[in-house]
A = this chain, B = another copy of it.
Amino acid sequence: MTAESATEKSLLVIGLGMIGGSVLRSARAHGSAEVILGYDSRDDVNLLAYEQGVVDNRPAALQELIAQASMIVLAVPPMTFPAVFTELASIGVADGTVLTDVASVKGPVLDACRQFAPELLSVFLPAHPIAGSEQSGLMASKVDLFKQKKLILTPHADVSNAAAHRVANFWGSLDCLLAELEPDLHDDLLASTSHLPHVLAYVLVDSLLLHPETDRLFEFAAGGFQDISRTASSDPTMWHDVFFSNKECVLAAVEQFEKRLALFKSMVENGESQRLFDMLSTAKKGRDNYLAKYRS
């Protein structure tokens, strides 16, 4: 999919965290919308967004902002979608307004739309920018967060071509590299490459905090620990929601990991030297290939 430059009349981002804020900053920098609006459930965040020049609007009621928006981006934690769709359905969205989102899960977000705002399905094309960091909050947002980063669109049977086209153009205007996946496949793949790694990082730190010598443990931790634990500094609300929303895929990925960890243990316990060496070598090759193919 290629993108054309696009100018929306008015962009509204709901949820002014790190990702939502970055959408706004990037949209302003790229001229992706004439008017740049934002809304957060926290008043202090709405004020900050206005004072920092991230949005054009002073803090306002969601209803007022929705009435002006031609493009709405939902940037709230996954489990907030039912409430947001309920509110959007109740307020009503103007003809010609289209919707997208940034959540790390796609099936559950579509389900929420289908259940709480079915009339919006035809104008909603879900999206997941593969960009982020362990930081959170508006002040961590960046103008170039999405620059040349993959963005996965998950088209579905109910979205109109016109709406899909406009949403894709909008994301393309932020200099994202657009890709497409079927929503359930997205959730399956990301459970393994993103959600499982977050589980491991959180549980690793959790596990180390229970060590009787926690202080000395962290004192002598090396660079490898800093990297592998990085995502444990991510927003707990966000990841709590991802784990519950994508429960089935996350549990399947964790269980597959547990099986292989048990195999690793049995190899070490039983002194299976060659098998262990082969397991480590194959993993190294797999990781080196990934790096060479997708990160060069």
Interface of A toward B, CB cutoff 8 Å = 130-134, 150, 152, 179, 181, 185-186, 188-190, 192-194, 196-211, 213, 216-237, 239-240, 243-244, 247, 250-251, 253-262, 264-265, 268-269, 271, 273, 276-277, 279-284, 286-291, 293-295
**Given A205-B287, A258-B258, A260-B203, A181:B220 Cβ within 8 A:** yes
Judge whether A273 and B240 touch: CB under 8 Å: yes
**A209's closest neighbor in chain B, by CB?**
B286
**Given A209-B286, A254-B265, A294-B221, A197:B204 Cβ within 8 A:** yes
Judge whether B287 and A229 touch: CB under 8 Å: yes
Judge whether A290 and B257 touch: CB under 8 Å: no
Q: Which residues of B contact A194 (CB under 8 A)?
A: 221-222, 224-225
Judge whether B206 and A192 touch: CB under 8 Å: no
- CB within 8 A of A280: which of B210, B239, B253, B293? B239
- 14 A-B residue pairings within 8 Å (CB atoms): A194-B224, A197-B228, A200-B204, A202-B279, A205-B286, A205-B290, A210-B260, A211-B256, A221-B290, A227-B227, A232-B283, A240-B276, A254-B261, A255-B265
5 interchain residue pairs of minimum CB distance: A236-B280, A193-B221, A205-B283, A232-B287, A218-B290
